[in-house]
Amino acid sequence: MSEALTGLELRSTVTSGGELQLTLAEVTLDPPGPDEVIVRVEAAPINPSDLGLLLGPADIATMKAGGTADRPTLTATIPPQRMRAMTARLDEPMPVGNEGAGTVVQAGENARHLLGKKVGMIGGAMYTQYRKLPARDVIILPEGASAADGASMFVNPLTALGFVETMRAEGHKAIVHTAAASNLGQMLNKICLADSIPLVNIVRNDVQAAILRGIGATHIVDSSAPDFEAVLADAIAETGATIGFDAIGGGKLAGQILNAMEVAANRNATGYSRYGSTTYKQVYIYGMLDPGPTIINRTFGFSWGLCGWLLTPFLMKAGEEVIARLRQRVADELKTTFASHYTATISLADALRPEIVEAYERKTTGEKYLIDPSA
Amino acid sequence: MSEALTGLELRSTVTSGGELQLTLAEVTLDPPGPDEVIVRVEAAPINPSDLGLLLGPADIATMKAGGTADRPTLTATIPPQRMRAMTARLDEPMPVGNEGAGTVVQAGENARHLLGKKVGMIGGAMYTQYRKLPARDVIILPEGASAADGASMFVNPLTALGFVETMRAEGHKAIVHTAAASNLGQMLNKICLADSIPLVNIVRNDVQAAILRGIGATHIVDSSAPDFEAVLADAIAETGATIGFDAIGGGKLAGQILNAMEVAANRNATGYSRYGSTTYKQVYIYGMLDPGPTIINRTFGFSWGLCGWLLTPFLMKAGEEVIARLRQRVADELKTTFASHYTATISLADALRPEIVEAYERKTTGEKYLIDPSA
């Protein structure tokens, strides 16, 4: 019999008094069941998709450090008008962290073969020292891969592959992507280059454009340029892109993409169509780098869709077979296509220090933080 | 052999000089081919969906009458910033009028049985005295129905029935509709009452609410009321509506509907879901009573879609069998469910008089004009 394991786990609480509280809670895990394993977490990324749960809608300018050096706490104020959406999580300490990787330190009787193996995992509550989960929810990392290599093998890789699957399933042949120099965007470029899928990359400045040129991207459009919309329409006409994935959400960009698709479609039109082109134009919003309102100038007829896109519903709809195929590709190309680069590796305690929160909350393109709870 | 027929046809031209010109052109029709008929048009409605082609983006405050009493013309200025979308129709006189009804006055050898019959038609260019079209594109009106009864038997009835078909095909069980007291909205209420489909009607004032109460509507929500969003969420929670059809397009309404659906979904949620509820929420924009930008506050997670909806692509996707079933229902219920009421019947020449254009362009709820080109 294995002994019970005790470790620290990061918890995020939104109090009914309007305060965000981050703490490290001591958690004791009973030995795993027959089909379960316990993993010592050695690497867990801070993805943009983790920040909503971690920080809620707190005003980070109000952050205050507390507690001790070993067991720090962090508090911040939540503006009252942002409390409405918080009802369902009030006063409940939430564990955080979508994905991670580490070493299997205890295994149930049907999972003995995993003992000592480095594995990748998805399932939440990864900002913790020990994580118990069903054996079927871990993937053994390929030979020579470290926990850091495997820490981000789910969210970004499956999202990027999911875009390509969605494109194919819906009958499109080229893609537009925003915030295109992100970790995810770089992966998408590598996939599209390998699979010969034309990709229009929208970036916000020269530095981001240079990152993408460096990995071989061909269509790069800078949304800060004065001729942005014309250049975007040209790139879309050239590639035939009729589907876009937008990480930003707020502002006019999603509508500008739909409009550029319409302009491109009308270049080949033979006559005036009073309700816009018959070309179906689709943009998915999958992130909210800009939480402000989406503003859509409907200059593109009625043959269009603007929808939310999220990894989990996509995978559920895609089914087991597709999931297995995508996971296999991620494992096969873990150190090439799906390699992630980290700005810094921090400890669980570091993740609660105001100056570090400020850094990882900034979501600077290409910057990404990794938590090593075993540090 | 039938003789050639000559009649007047309304034409709308947007000139490259930035002017809208409405004229009545003399058109001569050769005798119909073996499978064709010629219909003397006796009734053609001015639908909101006709106004885009008819008036373009002209500034109607600048309208000027010209020509003679019998053959009037109308001109108006188009603001330069609105000319961009007009490229494809520049300097081309466009016939107008989606649907109409009248009497078959000539018929090809395979369509003799239609001679003298009152028929309904769809296919454009209905603001004309004689319309030639394939025999299979007309529907014989039921016994006792006048041309006015059959003039609006396609666009509004098939759109309202199309909403219900779309709802069923996509797995929803109740509908939200905006501009709900319109001719179309009244039909939708009658259909939903007959088919036991819960319908949430959004109106903009008391008068519209009274119209709907008069025909038996149960869920009526006034968007001008201070507690609009709360009342809307209640009605959505009560009905279980997760699909909406919006005739307005501009402003915040489409987003408010999605948000109210999310609020309703979260009332039954068992725990906090960081990416919003898993209930899929769909709003279709099918009109543009407000051509301004659509402003979407994304407060409802990622499980949502906002798409354009248009009758013709819907019918093409639905297929022959569905179309036949819907058309049959319209014919069967032409004088009940699908009865249209007209504010006034005008001549082709009247349709070019500034004071009358001003009246039908206003799109007042419940007001609808009918052109009788044979008058």
CB B215, CB B188: distance < 8 Å = no
- Answer whether residue B270 shows pLDDT above 80: no
Reported as a pLDDT band with limits 50, 70 and 90, residue A1 is low
- Answer whether residue B366 shows pLDDT above 80: no
CA distance B132 to chain A (A): 21
Of the partner residues B88, B275, B298, the one whose CB lies closest to the CB of residue A294:
B298
Element (H, E) at A259: helix A253-267
Reported as a pLDDT band with limits 50, 70 and 90, residue A36 is very high
> Which residue of chain A is at minimal alpha-carbon distance from B88?
A272
Reported as a pLDDT band with limits 50, 70 and 90, residue A3 is confident
In sequence order, the 6+-apart residues with CB closer than 8 A to the CB of B355 are none
Tell me what pLDDT residue B88 has: 79
Q: Which two tokens stand for residue A99?
A: 């994905």
**Contact state of B302 with A294 under an 8 Å Cβ cutoff:** no
Strand, helix or coil at A77? strand
- Answer whether residue B159 shows pLDDT above 90: yes
Tell me what pLDDT residue B365 has: 67
Reported as a pLDDT band with limits 50, 70 and 90, residue A268 is confident
CA nearest neighbour of B242 among B161, B171, B169, B163: B171
Reported as a pLDDT band with limits 50, 70 and 90, residue A178 is very high
CA nearest neighbour of B42 among B127, B123, B113, B145: B127
**Contact state of A308 with B291 under an 8 Å Cβ cutoff:** no
Does the structural domain A159-314 have CATH classification 3.40.50.720? yes
Tell me what pLDDT residue A365 has: 67
Tell me what pLDDT residue A81 has: 86
CATH number belonging to domain A5-152+340-371: 3.90.180.10
Q: Which amino acid is at A316?
A: M
CB A269, CB B88: distance < 8 Å = yes
Tell me what pLDDT residue B25 has: 97
Residues paired with B307 in a beta bridge: A305, B284
- Answer whether residue B259 shows pLDDT above 70: yes
Q: Give me the long-range contacts of B188-193 (CB less than 8 A, separation at least 24).
A: B188/B160, B188/B163, B188/B164, B189/B215, B189/B216, B189/B217, B190/B215, B190/B336, B190/B337, B191/B160, B191/B161, B191/B164, B191/B337, B192/B164, B193/B217
- Answer whether residue B107 shows pLDDT above 80: yes
Element (H, E) at B19: strand B19-29
Chain A residues whose beta carbon lies within 8 Å of the beta carbon of residue B290:
none
CA dihedral A344, A12, B299, A187 (to 10 degrees): 30
DSSP A190-228: HHHHHHT--EEEEESSHHHHHHHHHTT--EEEETTSTTH
Round to whole Å and give the CA distance between B91 and B94: 9
Tell me what pLDDT residue A374 has: 95
In sequence order, the 6+-apart residues with CB closer than 8 A to the CB of A253 are A178, A202, A223, A246
**Contact state of B293 with A298 under an 8 Å Cβ cutoff:** yes
Unique residue bearing structure tokens 């999958």: A286
Q: List C-alpha distances in Å: A367 to A47, A340, B54.
A: 10, 10, 54
CA nearest neighbour of A172 among A263, A72, A283, A47: A283
> Please, what is the angle between helix B183-195 and helix B155-169, to 10°?
50
Tell me what pLDDT residue B235 has: 98
Q: Which two tokens stand for residue B55?
A: 């008036």
CA distance A142 to chain B (A): 31
Q: List C-alpha distances in Å: A28 to A4, A372, B74, B118, B249.
A: 7, 19, 83, 83, 54
- What share of chain B in percent tops pLDDT 70? 98
- Answer whether residue A246 shows pLDDT above 90: yes
**Contact state of A250 with B298 under an 8 Å Cβ cutoff:** yes
- Answer whether residue B215 shows pLDDT above 80: yes
Chain A residues whose beta carbon lies within 8 Å of the beta carbon of residue B49:
275
Q: How many CA atoms lie within 13 A of B261 on its CB side?
A: 30
**Contact state of B310 with A294 under an 8 Å Cβ cutoff:** no
CB A91, CB A20: distance < 8 Å = no
Query: pLDDT of B279-310, one tens digit each?
Result: 999 999 999 899 899 999 998 999 999 999 99
DSSP B268-326: T-SS--TT--SS-EEEEE---SEEEEEEE---STT-EEEEE--HHHHHHHH-HHHHHHH
**Contact state of A306 with B303 under an 8 Å Cβ cutoff:** no
Q: Which amino acid is at A370?
A: L
**Contact state of A272 with B304 under an 8 Å Cβ cutoff:** no
Q: Which two tokens stand for residue A38?
A: 């316990």
- Answer whether residue A73 shows pLDDT above 60: yes
Residues paired with B183 in a beta bridge: none
Reported as a pLDDT band with limits 50, 70 and 90, residue B87 is confident
Mean pLDDT along residues B1-14: 91
Q: Which amino acid is at B3?
A: E
Of the partner residues B286, B291, B296, the one whose CB lies closest to the CB of residue A294:
B296
CA distance B290 to chain A (A): 10
Query: pLDDT of A313-348, one tens digit each?
Result: 999 999 999 999 999 999 999 999 999 889 999 999
Tell me what pLDDT residue A78 has: 95
**Mean pLDDT of the residues in chain A:** 94
CA nearest neighbour of A274 among B309, B128, B46, B94: B94
> Which residue of chain B is at minimal alpha-carbon distance from A57?
B274
Least confident of A224-228, B1-5, B167-171, B219-223: B1-5
Element (H, E) at B221: strand B219-222
CB A352, CB A22: distance < 8 Å = yes
Round to whole Å and give the CA distance between A7 and A43: 15
In sequence order, the 6+-apart residues with CB closer than 8 A to the CB of A85 are A57, B299
Q: Which two tokens stand for residue B107?
A: 């018929």
Q: Which two tokens stand for residue B11?
A: 């034409």
Walk across the sheet containing A175-177 and list its strands: A219-222, A199-203, A175-177, A243-246, A281-285, A304-308, B304-308, B281-285, B243-246, B175-177, B199-203, B219-222
Extents of the domains making up chain B = 5-152+340-371, 159-314
CA nearest neighbour of A233 among A278, A268, A273: A268
Mean pLDDT along residues A236-241: 98
Mean pLDDT along residues B335-353: 94
Least confident of A67-81, A268-282, A289-303: A268-282
Query: Left (φ > 0), alpha (ψ -120 to 50) or beta: where does A201 sit?
Result: beta
- Answer whether residue A123 shows pLDDT above 70: yes
**Contact state of A274 with B52 under an 8 Å Cβ cutoff:** yes
Mean pLDDT along residues A40-65: 94
> Please, what is the angle between helix B48-55 and helix B354-361, to 10°?
140
Mean pLDDT along residues B346-367: 90
Interface of B with A (CB under 8 A): 49, 52-53, 85, 87-89, 92, 94, 249-250, 255, 266, 269, 271-276, 278, 285-286, 288, 291, 293-299, 301-310, 312-313
DSSP A12-35: EEE-TTSEEEEEEEEEEEPPP-TT
Interface of A with B (CB under 8 A): 49, 52-53, 85, 87-89, 92, 94, 249-250, 255, 266, 269, 271-276, 278, 285-286, 288, 291, 293-299, 301-310, 312-313
